[in-house]
Amino acid sequence: MTKTAIIGGKEYRMRASALTPRLYRAFFKRDIIRDMQGLITVYNKVVEVQKKEDATEEEQNAVSMELLDHLEVFENTAWLFCKEAGEVVGDSPEEWLDSIEGVFSIYEAMPVIVDLWAEQQITTAKPKNPAGPR
């Protein structure tokens, strides 16, 4: 599946596939499943705090700082998803980030990344024994 995200004022196509975890491991020597679980968990916290009408500035700052701890995972994933979609993003996330004019807002691209990842995780296989082991 392919989606479009706006990054630094420019549209980038992004794609996730069954190949994504292997590519992520090859490029970054890390497990994308574990990294995405952490990133999405923190991002969901940020969204919940932003929805709270009575959220204090301290709460908002705390979750934003927690999200920054996952910034490298976000940047690496965004770069890889763009690369998989055939976008010209250079040979590394650093090269790509250096080419982006202005600030790269995590809030612009993160919803697209979350959607792509969720859709990529859906399996079409049906269990042979839906009742489970006996």
Give the predicted TM-score (pTM) of the model.
Answer: 0.84
b (16+ CB within 10 A) / e for 34-65: ebbeebbebbebbeebeeeeeeeeeeeeebee
Contact 31, 25 (CB under 8 A): yes
pLDDT tens digit string along 90-106? 999 999 999 998 877 78
**pLDDT digits 0-9 by tens, 40-49:** 999 998 888 8
- For tokens 């705090």, the residue is 49
Domain spans in the chain, listed from the N-terminal domain onward: 2-120
In single-letter form, the type of residue at position 131 comes to A
* Whether 41 contacts 114, CB under 8 Å: no
